[in-house]
Structure 1
């Protein structure tokens, strides 16, 4: 028997993986990802990026419709609902991050929920979990074929490359595509992959996730209709390898209906952010808060705006070295801004990126005192980097603190209580408290829910919109 190509092995795995392969650990980790993604997506519906994407997408209509998160009066064709909701998830750079570096959930969940709502036979919560994990698995496996992918990206934004492939795989699974059709979906999706890093720290960056989800969904729908692509898209030098020069693909293990399957998510947990900014900023903020505590412990009346010099030791990564950010999107990608915000306020929060706090005189003056250093041992990898902050006070004292692993990193995951607290804080910006509680309950017991599209319904309960009837989920339903 001829050995399958790498692409064939992926197509076979997408089609063959079933709910029995899901382990308790994978189910629990992916539920945390679903809850966090819905929360940051709801908060993202308050942003200008979301409003522009929604106004654009309202131009299109179709017989099949899916809901827009936080907008009970709005529905769109599934691929445009995916686009709009995906933009919301990444609108504030608040969504989860994996290693090798990518934002895995934002490319999957909007597409899966939009597709689920549009199908005549609604998938169960267990089917949603399976499809979501198939999409994660494809992303994780593809990124592990390259050493370059393990570093902080320099050339393109990874979710636009592996995210679109993950979306194609996840939606192919929900649509029940055959191995051959799943291969076609990957090939079609690959021709929609890629976005330059030059558009990070701009309003266009959230569209990277939006387009990854949308194009992946379109790829699987086109494959269902019979459209074909290169059957060796993951094998050829002119295929997926064009994104990673050191790409060396491997076959996925054969999937047996009864034998266990080892998921990437079992070996690699997810990072959840405590504030909406680039992941590297969380090392900086934690180190800066430690320095602030040392200063105030020594002198409780210290004027932190009068600091003489700040040295920040971080990996070399030019797109997050922004000494004087002009916009909130630049601030979310600025070592300097997040260090100074943490020093002045003792934390970085959603409000840190508001016009009022960004425009403070004390902050602007402090930014001028920041100097970056790039020690040779500080690798540009979210798994290996550290941040050290050294502050010289006006009185001539020096204080130093270092963060090797911030709270929320996959090595130091958020507790269930803190993750739920983050979700409710984000969701309450849009939804009623009853709806937010209902979503938590649904996610908790998702594998037992007969119709996963109920999640989309709960995402509609805007707290400023009257509803004649409200049906909230309980464990007895």
Structure 2
């Protein structure tokens, strides 16, 4: 939209450098209070926190997480911040990296359906560390206008509101540049959108002013990045959302002591966050800065578009899994284990971003666990063979099974434009042809949890199923009670102490 200011200068509102959007977001961040937040949003936020902690508990001791922990603990000195599943404490930034990596470790953490990012793995690690920095300052000589920084207890309500700030900021940053479009071009969108999210949450928890919050977000955004090629092999994909957690926390810690960051980071046309990450997208307009502050206090992403995973793989393939499950239910004999070899071909239609992200043909056998959880052909074959796609399906000794790979090689993915509509990106069309020429198909526009979302009861069930595999029943129950009663917790450190102790290894 083009508008005229009083000077009669024509201004494009989608990229107006003087729109004040970054400042408006920061003012909202610092002034938000409990009475401004609907009860349903507060409740959902607590359940998203619980879900993130569950993912961290099971993710702390999978093999790739242990590799990361071994490496960081080998060089990083002791600090004041807790690490999920370990006795050791590290510096704030190092702890944020490990905790983020653990929450993202098994692909069971939440995802946003339009502006793809995993909110818990970005927001929670930053807040865990920020809370402990605030409660246990290493130095007291730094001052701001209010005087010397001293130890301060962080309440559960403070933590909860800060988490909501992060949950709301990340998706808006992504929507301003068309959300999943970033994936299509090979960027790992979550570590990009996640930087302002973690900065916003950390700034709120640390009590920064609106001006300092703007600096923190600017510092975070200049560190943003993440290559989606990380999905094919290796382990680094697990850590990239944690980079965003670290970057936002770093921005807030610098700004807390008066360090000035980029101002108007969303609005700047030259070298700004939106203008740079939207380059080459072919969209008109290239980006829309207004989305950053659109609907603040009225539209809540926390309880509408942040989805909770029921399958241990990339969220974009959940529709494919459930379409195959529907075929298995409708044709039990055809899809019985002894008849899978009679499948001639499988075609899978996916949205543009998901096809680019997950529709690639496997380039090696076996895939790494990361690659297997990011590959539509492998994910579909796993559902056909095992009837589920959970953590156990991606253990090392299960990644080279002939019965799975026979189906992988028969699978072809393609871009199906019917799924390019908002909130349909995770849908799928699956067509299976058998050797006797019988063809069956299933189209699923949206996987479970879109309309209506996964219920809070289901999130609690998921938490218990995951947590009980990693901690004892008493500890599991205490964590759940504290998180679901966060607004009544005087000192959030009691929660941090509960998860910061050794957990069991879940995956060999």
TM-score by length of 1: 0.89
3-state secondary structure, aligned to 2:331: helix
1:410 corresponds to which of 446, 450, 470: 450
- Which moved further from structure 2: 224-233 or 44-53? 44-53
Q: In the alignment, is the contact (CA less than 8 A) between 2:433 and 2:439 conserved in 1?
A: yes
3-state secondary structure, aligned to 2:94: helix
Q: In the alignment, is the contact (CA less than 8 A) between 1:314 and 1:372 conserved in 2?
A: yes
Where does structure 1 lack aligned partners over 5 or more consecutive residues? 466-477
d(CA) in 1 for partners of 2:158 and 2:335? 57
1:213 aligned residue: 245
Q: Residues 275 and 341 (structure 1 numbering): CA distance in 2 closer, same or farther, change over 3 Å?
A: same
Q: Residues 301 and 377 (structure 1 numbering): CA distance in 2 closer, same or farther, change over 3 Å?
A: closer
Q: Residues 266 and 386 (structure 1 numbering): CA distance in 2 closer, same or farther, change over 3 Å?
A: closer
Q: Residues 153 and 20 (structure 1 numbering): CA distance in 2 closer, same or farther, change over 3 Å?
A: farther
Q: Residues 449 and 150 (structure 1 numbering): CA distance in 2 closer, same or farther, change over 3 Å?
A: farther
1:227 aligned residue: 259
Shift of 1:78: 1.7
d(CA) in 1 for partners of 2:293 and 2:61? 43
Q: Residues 373 and 160 (structure 1 numbering): CA distance in 2 closer, same or farther, change over 3 Å?
A: closer
1:289 aligned residue: 325
d(CA) in 1 for partners of 2:409 and 2:292? 51
Q: Residues 463 and 355 (structure 1 numbering): CA distance in 2 closer, same or farther, change over 3 Å?
A: closer
Q: In the alignment, is the contact (CA less than 8 A) between 1:31 and 1:444 conserved in 2?
A: yes
Shift of 1:442: 1.2
Q: Residues 175 and 353 (structure 1 numbering): CA distance in 2 closer, same or farther, change over 3 Å?
A: same
Q: Residues 457 and 301 (structure 1 numbering): CA distance in 2 closer, same or farther, change over 3 Å?
A: closer
Q: In the alignment, is the contact (CA less than 8 A) between 2:21 and 2:293 conserved in 1?
A: no
Q: In the alignment, is the contact (CA less than 8 A) between 1:168 and 1:217 conserved in 2?
A: yes
User: In the alignment, does 2:94 pair up with 1:80?
Assistant: yes
User: In the alignment, does 2:384 pair up with 1:346?
Assistant: no
RMSD in angstroms over aligned alpha carbons?
2.6
Q: In the alignment, is the contact (CA less than 8 A) between 2:191 and 2:243 conserved in 1?
A: yes
d(CA) in 2 for partners of 1:105 and 1:464? 21
Q: Residues 253 and 86 (structure 1 numbering): CA distance in 2 closer, same or farther, change over 3 Å?
A: closer
1:440 corresponds to which of 480, 483, 496: 480
User: In the alignment, does 2:190 pair up with 1:159?
Assistant: yes
| TM alignment of 1:38-437, pairs within 5 A | 38-58=53-73, 59-61=75-77, 64-71=79-86, 73-98=87-112, 99-118=114-133, 119=135, 120-147=151-178, 149=180, 152-202=183-233, 203-237=235-269, 238-241=271-274, 242-245=276-279, 246-250=286-290, 261-265=297-301, 268-296=304-332, 303-316=339-352, 317-324=355-362, 326-379=367-420, 382-407=423-448, 409-437=449-477
Q: In the alignment, is the contact (CA less than 8 A) between 2:175 and 2:291 conserved in 1?
A: no
d(CA) in 1 for partners of 2:445 and 2:426? 7
Q: Residues 19 and 254 (structure 1 numbering): CA distance in 2 closer, same or farther, change over 3 Å?
A: farther
Q: In the alignment, is the contact (CA less than 8 A) between 1:150 and 1:381 conserved in 2?
A: no
Deviations 1:139-183 (A, max 9, x none): 132223223546754331122122111111111111111111111
Where does structure 2 lack aligned partners over 5 or more consecutive residues? 1-5, 7-17, 136-150, 280-285
d(CA) in 1 for partners of 2:388 and 2:35? 43
Name the count of aligned residue pairs. Answer: 457
TM-score by length of 2: 0.84
3-state secondary structure, aligned to 2:119: coil
Q: Residues 296 and 381 (structure 1 numbering): CA distance in 2 closer, same or farther, change over 3 Å?
A: same
1:468 aligned residue: none
Q: In the alignment, is the contact (CA less than 8 A) between 1:13 and 1:252 conserved in 2?
A: no
